[in-house]
Structure 1
């Protein structure tokens, strides 16, 4: 790339752009950055939003870095591996500022380790027309070809590696191999695993299909690789070639990443004590009017005892936004709860105010922040402390 702009999330910078570059950057980067003309002709203000990663437009590359520690960005991916597993990739990202090669390297190593344990196989229901009978005759399919005895419409279960988990991994691996600039050793890893998956069909995969895979003791070792595969399939965009060069955009929504991470960790910490429901659908008004969807609702023995909303960004003075308090007040009112919780990410600035009490309503709105500036062990300790606080408040409300 002939021109690279590097900035942190929510940071603003000034850069000289052509008019066509500014238009394309504003269009392609919608949701990730804003582009506004400055008083000086030819210069534009570029402001990063809540996305981090790489944005490519023509011969311009924008690298958006998170304010949190690089190793904690990998921690937020919540792939279920020990922090030591991504130490090398976190270091590479810290020195290069380009997230995509580090994520692909992490995926390539995780995939290699996963498939080294053996390719997952399972029984797959198959309906096929065969010359010789196999399994059972598909009577409905057979009668659709009236008067024809062969081929026979058969229904059978086949023990095969061509299953959803492997199809998902193969689709992500094929996509990663199309990314330019991947380190040779990582490309070799990916190519070897494509060979391992040669009996698996090449099919179009939607990122959300991972949610339909049920994990058991038989396939749980696939989870880390599948979660990284989902990250690539959901966020990687292959750009058209520009001359002899090819480029890829890869942007991760930090809001969603933080929300999913906190949800999964609290669910794990509170298992057996509280039921943790995410994106809980209910209504603000009577007669099921005005739908609302709190990020988290905590239940004890089937009864709602606490509601929480997760917010990634604090205001500049480390205080919660007024609109966030309004939203949480609506949730506590609709669920008839005496208090609610705002969970923030603490990246810079001081700790937010601990609790406010709403006038004439008595609702207590708590604010707690998780510090992501420390090492993964410190983040784990903060989440453990948060889960104990939630469990304690739930006991009081029950």
Structure 2
């Protein structure tokens, strides 16, 4: 059993954990505090005997329970709607080809979206491993009793000048203990450390047994870009995308006394930003640029080749007129108006980037955010508008969603 909360929802802190009342122990609260220190991030809002998660969603295995944090996608929606929208966003950002219906896995909803993702991954992996482990040729060099492959003569003469019974050879062997399988096994090992249901643990173990002879590697996420796919191993591409999702967001184990604490956390700021970018990319193709870094706010007066303060807008959309629309995504629930720092940032884009037509601050749709939808211009500059807009994330993947994205930049 785990405690499920929505972003910004307060969790009470008391002497003992009470799952039904959403209360965590002081010992578990200390774990959350240590997690913030480890990641050097402000992940929670702390109050007197209460704590509230901010922008980070996922699961944290505490000492006495697990804490599952879900995103505040809308003011009100059922868990299935929330899961469907969230997984569609993750699917889009990580390039996951999730064909499984959430309805078909509704029995897993009570265990949370992390376990739902794990089961989708396991089903996909099982499908591929049923066809057999993929093997690759591995290059080897060794001093052998017989010739295998071909002799490396400079090494052979150096090592075997007085030993006629040895041959220093370079040869290839077919092996399943290579990078692709190592990344998959490492991912499964990380997942197995979480507090997941016995049924899911059994499914993980089945796949680990299949990979019994495969090595586990350190920092597996950094090796994913080194993989190359061809017609022989392309069927594992989807499984590797899942591995990337898990490896990028599973934190290193945190020691709390004698207990190992694991976490799988996604920054909703980044997920929302990348999801909106990839959604616009689907509509406008090559006219969409992500985090362009070629613009600066300041230029040195005597040395114009020197620039300072790099401007990096989230999304730039080029129009046929050569003007650009800038979209800056904000994963925030507003109580009043947008933060003044956000407006200063937008004004910097107007000043430092050429041919800007409009700038759009884009928020997820909810009652509070909808109240501030409007158009503004900066004093003494009415040619560029700063527009505040929202988008309904419960409609992701629908025709209306993509239609609304296009309306936003009109």
Give the TM-score of the pair, scaled to structure 1: 0.77
Name the SS of the counterpart of 1:179 in structure 2. coil
Closer/same/farther in 2, CA of residues 34 and 389 from structure 1, 3 Å limit: closer
Q: How does 1:19-168 map to 2 (within 5 A)?
A: 22-29=29-36, 31-36=42-47, 38=48, 44-59=49-64, 61-68=66-73, 69-78=82-91, 79-82=95-98, 84-89=100-105, 92-93=108-109, 95-96=110-111, 98-122=112-136, 126-131=139-144, 132-135=146-149, 147=161, 150-154=166-170, 160-168=175-183
1:85 and 1:278 mapped to 2: Cα distance? 30
Quick one: distance in 1 between partners of 2:365 and 2:190?
34
Residue 329 (str. 1) matches residue 332 (str. 2): no
Does the alignment pair 1:277 with 2:277?
A: no
Look up the SS of the partner of 2:394 in the other structure: coil
Take 1:178 and 1:139, find their aligned partners in 2: how far apart are those partners? Answer: 48
Unaligned runs of at least 5 residues, structure 2: 16-24, 74-81, 300-305
Correspondence 1:151-190 to 2 at 5 A: 151-154=167-170, 160-184=175-199, 186-190=200-204
Residue 281 (structure 1) shift: 1.8
1:177-224 CA deviation, whole Å, 9 max, x = no partner? 23333332x334333333443454332233243344455666554343
Task: Evaluate the alpha carbon distance shift between residue 76 and residue 6 of structure 1 in structure 2; reply closer, same or farther with a 3 A threshold.
Answer: same
**Structure 1: how far apart are the matches of 2:96 and 2:26?**
45
Deviation sequence 1:250-302 (CA, Å, 0-9, x none): 2222122222222223223322xx3433232233222231123222233479x
Give the CA deviation at 1:122. Answer: 4.7
Aligned CA RMSD, in angstroms, stands at: 3.6
The 1:105–1:360 alpha-carbon spacing in structure 2 relative to 1, beyond 3 Å, is same
SS of aligned partner of 1:289: strand
Q: Which residue of 2 aligns with 1:41?
A: none
Cα 1:263–1:127 change in 2 (3 A) is farther
Give yes or no for contact 2:28–2:64 (8 Å, CA) kept in 1: no
Q: Sort the Cα spacing of 1:220 and 1:264 in 2 relative to 1 into closer, same or farther, 3 A.
A: farther
CA contact (8 A) 1:25 1:35 kept: no
Match of 1:296 in 2: 315
For the structure 1 residues 211 and 294, does the alpha-carbon distance in structure 2 shift closer, same or farther, using more than 3 Å as the test?
farther
What is the aligned length? Answer: 371
> Could you tell me whether the CA contact under 8 Å between 2:58 and 2:266 is conserved in 1?
yes
Report how far residue 105 of structure 1 moved.
Answer: 1.8
- Equivalent residue runs for 1:202-213 within 5 Å: 202-213=216-227
1:260 maps to what in 2?
A: 274
Give the 3 Å change call, closer, same or farther, for CA 345–144 of structure 1 in structure 2.
farther
**Which is worse superposed, 50-59 or 157-166?**
157-166
What is the CA distance between 1:49 and its match in structure 2?
Answer: 0.6
Q: Secondary structure at the match of 1:270?
A: helix
| TM-score computed with the length of structure 2 as normaliser | 0.75
In 1, distance between residues paired with 2:225 and 2:359?
A: 29
- Deviation of 1:148 after TM superposition, in Å, equals 7.2
The superposition leaves residues 11-47 of structure 1 with CA deviations (integer Å, 9 ceiling, x where unpaired) of 23433247655444322245332333x3xxxxx1212
Whole-angstrom CA distance in 1 between matches of 2:267 and 2:44: 12
User: What displacement does 1:336 show?
Assistant: 0.9
